[in-house]
Amino acid sequence: MDTRQLLEWSDKHLMTFAKRYPLALVRGDGVRVWDSDGKEYLDFTSGIAVTALGHSHPKVVGTMREQAATLLHVSNYFHIPQQIHLAKLLCDHSFADRVFFCNSGAEANESAIKLARKWAKEHGASDRGDIITMRGGFHGRTLATVTATAQEKYHHGFEPLPGGFKYVPFNDLRAVERAIDSHTAAVMVEPIQGEGGVNIPDDGYLPGLRKLCDEAGVLLVLDEIQTGMGRTGRLWGYEHSGIEPDIMTLAKALANGVPIGATLATESVASAFTPGTHGSTFGGNPFATAVGLTVFTTMMEERLPERAAATGRLLRGELEAVQKRHPKAATAVRGRGLLVGVDLVPPVADVIGACRERGLLLLSAGDNTLRLAPPLVVDEASVRRAVETIEQVLAGMAK
């Protein structure tokens, strides 16, 4: 179908919840995607940090074909071998003892909030339910998770919002210390704020939060929906900090694009969920968890977290050099692994648009930050090409 007609129908029939770029992507292979006019792009978005193994990875495609032809869905009234195996793998490679599977990041965070509240009530007073979250964070778009997202721009028009959330500045331990009281169930935080601008806290921040939570007997919930699954150069973002959470949420890269979410917890915390307390029709079905299993085993076999650490160093190094050459266009580069942000002077939307014209897809974050989140399999040549494109665009705009 003609692209113009497609975009016209999109305009007419889809709810306009997102500002879409004027193109339709129809095919992908590794780090590359093609639009409906046949134009090729380097994909440094990974569908917002999702397609860690790249597009159309042969092992992922093989599992999808096989599992779709064998058994797609059964419901959680039955034991699901793929779900059991994926849960075991996630637990074997993390702090966690048990997993709840769902279908998205927001849903994984909803489950974490419910679990933390239920645990807190069973291990304290019946009015312990508050969740402390960080300004600039992002936890999803459902009513509870958008309220957990301490950014008023996402709340506007959706009031009344659910109660039981308290906001403190990110990277400020004193503020958390002051906010914790007898009503607090949990502190919830991203190891690195992704949507908020690729904000990396000080080294002592997560250990400090762990200590404050332990002293007060409240839970530490890490939202690793963007930072998990190797993105930061370690399997989990928390591994950089030397501490472990009580609850961790995952989604995005867990099944490389097949919708999935997961809430992981220690034995003691997970025991707050008993039969009938929580659920999901689709969550953890044979299809999604079979793909998750293939993604996880491939990630470990191909040592993708280590690869992301090395390629991320190259990417940051190259971008830092660009920033030094164009200080009037770019003011800072930061990141960990393959989650990288560049603070810009020209409007980020203009830079993203100009890069797209030149065949490079990028994300934004925060107020005016360019966010790069390529597939973890990205090769050095593609990294250099992407950085060259960004430099050409910034040089053009600085004139």
Ligand X SMILES: Cc1ncc(COP(=O)(O)O)c(C=O)c1O
> DSSP readout, 9-71?
HHHHHS---S---S--EEEEEBTEEEETT--EEEESSHHHHT-TT-BT-HHHHHHHHHHHHH-
For residue 103, the minimal CB distance to ligand X (Å) is: 8
Closest among 330, 395, 328, 342 to 373, alpha carbons compared: 342
Among 30, 47, 54, 105, binds ligand X (CB under 6 A): 105
Is 12 known to be catalytic? no
Which is nearer to ligand X, 189 or 299 (by Cβ)? Answer: 189
Q: Which of 43, 110, 130, 195 binds ligand X (CB under 6 A)?
A: 195
Which conformational region is residue 275 in: left (phi greater than 0), alpha (psi within -120 to 50 degrees), or beta?
Answer: beta
- Across the strands, what pairs with 186? 131, 219
Least distance (Å) from ligand X to the CB of residue 48? 6
Exactly one of 43, 100, 165, 223 is catalytic; name it.
223
The rounded distance, in Å, linking the Cα atoms of 70 and 289 is: 13
Q: Cβ distance 371 to 362 under 8 Å?
A: yes
CB of 140 or CB of 312, closer to ligand X:
140
Catalytic entry in 95, 100, 138, 165: 138
Q: Which is nearer to ligand X, 19 or 399 (CB)?
A: 19
Which of the ranges 56-64, 98-106, 180-188, 339-347 carries the binding residues for ligand X, by CB under 6 A? 98-106
Rounded to 5°, the CA angle 199-152-367 comes to: 40
Active site residue 203: no
**Binding pattern for the stretch 268-307 against ligand X, x by CB under 6 A and - elsewhere:** ----------------------------------------
Beta carbon nearer to ligand X, 138 or 238: 138
Residue with CB nearest ligand X?
105
User: In 3-state terms, the chain is what percent helix, strand and coil (to 5)?
Assistant: 40, 20, 40
Rule CB under 6 A: say whether 237 interacts with ligand X: no
Specify the residue, 196 or 389, whose C-beta has the smaller distance to ligand X.
Answer: 196
What Rg value do the Cα atoms of the chain yield, rounded?
Answer: 21
What are the b/e assignments for 304-334, b being 16+ CB within 10 Å?
bbebbbebbeebbebbeebbeebeebbeebb
In the structure encoding, which two tokens stand for residue 289, read together? 């968890």
Contact between residue 295 and residue 255 where contact means Cβ atoms under 8 Å apart: yes
Of residues 205-234, which lie at the interface with ligand X (CB under 6 A)? 223, 225-226
**Total of residues contacting ligand X (CB under 6 A):** 15
Any catalytic annotation for residue 252?
yes
Q: How far apart are CA 380 and CA 386, in angstroms?
A: 10
Element (H, E) at 263: strand 261-265
Candidates 55, 57, 128, 139: give the one binding ligand X (CB under 6 A).
139
We find the least distance from the C-beta atom of residue 104 to ligand X, in angstroms, to be 4
CB count in 10 Å sphere of residue 78: 8
Reading the block at residue 113, the tokens are 């909030």
Using the 8-state DSSP alphabet, how is residue 110 labeled? Answer: H
- Selected catalytic residue, list 43, 101, 165, 252: 252
Nearest to ligand X of 115, 394 (CB atom): 115
Is residue 138 close enough to count as binding ligand X by CB under 6 A? yes
For the CB of residue 23, give the shortest distance to ligand X in the complex, in Å. Answer: 21
Pick the binder of ligand X from 140, 191, 233, 292 (CB under 6 A): 140
As measured in angstroms, the least distance from the Cβ of 189 to ligand X is 10
Q: x/- site string to ligand X, residues 106 to 135, per CB under 6 A? A: x--x--------------------------
Q: Does 251 bind ligand X (CB under 6 A)?
A: yes
Of residues 26 through 85, those in contact with ligand X by CB under 6 A are 48
Question: Taking a C-beta distance cutoff of 8 angstroms, is the pair 313, 338 a contact?
Answer: no
Q: Which residues bind ligand X (CB under 6 A)?
A: 48, 104-106, 109, 138-140, 190, 194-195, 223, 225-226, 251
- Residues serving a catalytic function are 138, 223, 252
